[in-house]
Amino acid sequence: MFWRRNRAVAVPLQSEEAEALERSVEKTRESVFGRVSQLFRRPVLDESTWDELTQLLMESDIGPSRAFRLVEHAREMVEGETLKTPVEAETALRRQLVESLGAAEPMLLEDQPGRLAVHMVGVNGSGKTTTSAKLSAYLRHRGRSTLLAAADTFRAAAIDQLQVWGERTGTDVIAGQQGSDLGAVVFDAVHAARMRGLDTVIIDTAGRLHTKTNLMDELSKLRRVATKADPDVTQVALLVLDATTGQNALMQAKRFLEAVQVDGIILTKLDGTAKGGVVFAVFEELNLPIWYVGSGEKLTDLAPFDHLAFVNALFR
């Protein structure tokens, strides 16, 4: 059974959440971590085993330095006879992977009290618009009332797409015309949610602008705009990263973090890559918790990220 560890008492993941996590790492498990498990089925761990383990971890996009550290630690424990069998060595590796994702899970949006304004930030193509709709469906399924804000006014397609998703999820969408002011859309959406008694506004922001105005400055202003519309709203910014872009996703994230306050990560398209080890690189290099992962194309293909469940799924 998978467990969510982000609350004071361990809560079992719902079956659909566990299944989504399984789907999200299927390619990575089949291409890399299944082979890692095979290494630990050998009767003896020799020099070639450690070399193969290092190579496999690097193939998963976990990062060279991280791969070397993990293998060296496991090797030292085996050679120092702290670990007596290959199975114990595999267990130790799993434990290291879990611990490398931080000491605590984030509070999820469904656990937050009061009204929320959720800013979805990231570059175009990362999956912000689709993920905004998935997040709306996810939260509505868990008892929160939602409103979508089409604040990516640079792209008419993004506005149209969000409106289509709104119809599919039964969620109202506040939108302006292409090229309209981002702040005006956010103000209207947050104010409308307050007046209608809705508790969550999900704001699909721009990944670029139609003017020469600095994007990061505009994104920073949106927090102030939301506060003007509702002084009591709690604001959360989630950085949407495309797992299939690997190290490029990290470079994009670092540019955002230089200028925009971010609370956590949504890692999209994790099911579309065999390099799921990027999860470990994202956490270590950005020092931000991963809140949710995308596991497919359907509206329901969004799952809360759980350290232990994720690592266990890699080795199943």
Digit-coded pLDDT (tens) for 172-206: 999 988 878 889 999 999 999 999 999 999 999 98
pLDDT higher than threshold 60 for residue 210: no
Contact (Cβ atoms closer than 8 angstroms) between residue 224 and residue 182:
no
pLDDT at 286: 87
Total Cβ atoms within 10 A of residue 276: 27
Which residue carries 């130790």 as its tokens?
92
Please state, for a pLDDT cut of 70, what percent of the chain lies above it: 92
pLDDT at 144: 94
For residue 198, give the nearest of 206, 186, 190 by alpha carbon.
Answer: 190
Higher pLDDT, 79 or 139: 139
- pTM for this entry: 0.87
Q: Give every CB contact of residue 113 below 8 A, 6+ residues apart in sequence.
A: 234
For residue 127, give the nearest of 270, 241, 238 by alpha carbon.
Answer: 241
pLDDT higher than threshold 60 for residue 148: yes
Please state, for a pLDDT cut of 90, what percent of the chain lies above it: 42
Which residue carries 């984030």 as its tokens?
106
Q: Where does the pLDDT of residue 9 fall: very low under 50, low under 70, confident under 90, or very high at 90 and above?
A: very low
d(C-alpha 40, C-alpha 101), whole Å: 22
pLDDT higher than threshold 50 for residue 4: no
What is the average per-residue pLDDT within 142-150? 95
pLDDT at 225: 96
pLDDT higher than threshold 60 for residue 98: yes
Contact (Cβ atoms closer than 8 angstroms) between residue 120 and residue 202:
yes
Higher pLDDT, 155 or 130: 130
Q: Where does the pLDDT of residue 7 fall: very low under 50, low under 70, confident under 90, or very high at 90 and above?
A: very low
pLDDT at 8: 37
* Complete domains list, the chain, with CATH: 109-262 (3.40.50.300)
What is the average per-residue pLDDT within 248-263? 81
pLDDT higher than threshold 60 for residue 297: yes
